[in-house]
């Protein structure tokens, strides 16, 4: 959980179901996550909104590194087969280029992962990510039409999932990766509860 310097006190979440104890969802969302969002060092970066920022599970970095390592192994294996088994020496250069790009991506993964965060405000959810290419989007609760939880084989093995919610405007759809399964379930139930109450009030 991250609090911006200009707003040190936590902002309460919008009301959820009666069964949810105050502060219970915050504890679920912040269990096993990073404690500070990493921001770009450039002067022109997007400023963090005031309030409490939640982050994703530390296990997401491990999953991403494993996935990239598998991809790197496939690249090397294909290049070796082409060069030594099929005598296609031209494959050395594409193999080296793809391997270098993959390794460079793995090197910046920790900062990329720690740049991901989301904030639950009174009327909307704000999502931000990115170091080189930054993105920050706010999605009103009343516009949410679908909240979906998905996870691949590696995600299941590490107990994490991604939560996707879409609105009538496809461009405002947001995917929050690397949530613990408990956080994904709690956030889905919270968003659907608030979205339903907001649509009822429209």
12, two tokens = 């309460």
**pLDDT beneath 70: ranges in the chain:** 1-23, 42-47, 49, 169-173, 199-202
Give the pair of three-digit tokens for residue 25.
Answer: 């969802």
Q: What is the pLDDT of residue 172?
A: 60
Strand order in the sheet with 2-3: 2-3, 52-55, 117-120, 124-129, 135-140
Number of H helices, E strands in the chain: 5, 8
Q: What is the pLDDT of residue 200?
A: 62
* Residue 191: Cβ-neighbour burial (10 angstroms; 0-12, 13-18, 19+): buried
pLDDT value at residue 19: 40
Cα–Cα distance for residue pair 28/35, rounded to 1 Å: 14
- Please tell me the predicted confidence (pLDDT) of residue 35: 85
Residue 83 DSSP label: I
Q: Are 116 and 39 in contact (CB under 8 A)?
A: no
What is the per-residue pLDDT for 43?
59
Rg for the chain (alpha carbons), in Å? 20
Element (DSSP H or E) covering residue 76: helix 59-80
Q: List 138's β-bridge partners, or say none.
A: 126
Beta-ladder partners of 33: 57
CATH of range 2-39+49-56+118-201; options 3.20.20, 2.30.29, 3.30.450, 1.10.3470: 2.30.29
pTM over 0.85: no
């Amino acid at each position: 959980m991250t609090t911006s310097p200009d707003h040190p006190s936590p902002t309460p979440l919008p009301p959820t179901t009666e069964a949810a104890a105050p502060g219970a969802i915050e504890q679920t969302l912040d269990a096993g996550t990073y404690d500070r969002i990493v921001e770009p060092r450039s002067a022109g970066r997007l400023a963090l909104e005031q309030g409490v920022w939640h982050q994703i599970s530390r296990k997401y970095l491990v999953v991403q590194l494993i996935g990239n390592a598998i991809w790197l192994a496939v690249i090397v294996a294909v290049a070796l087969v082409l060069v030594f088994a099929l005598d296609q020496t031209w494959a050395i250069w594409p193999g080296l280029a793809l391997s270098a790009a993959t390794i460079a991506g793995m090197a910046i993964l920790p900062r990329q992962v720690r740049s991901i965060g989301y904030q639950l405000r009174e009327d909307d959810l704000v999502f931000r990510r990115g170091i080189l290419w930054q993105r920050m989007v706010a999605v009103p609760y009343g516009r949410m039409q679908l909240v979906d939880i998905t996870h691949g084989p590696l995600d299941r093995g590490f107990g994490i999932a991604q939560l996707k919610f879409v609105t009538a405007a496809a461009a405002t759809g947001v995917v929050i990766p690397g949530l613990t399964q408990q956080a994904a379930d709690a956030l889905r139930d919270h968003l659907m509860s608030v979205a339903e109450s907001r649509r009822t009030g429209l």
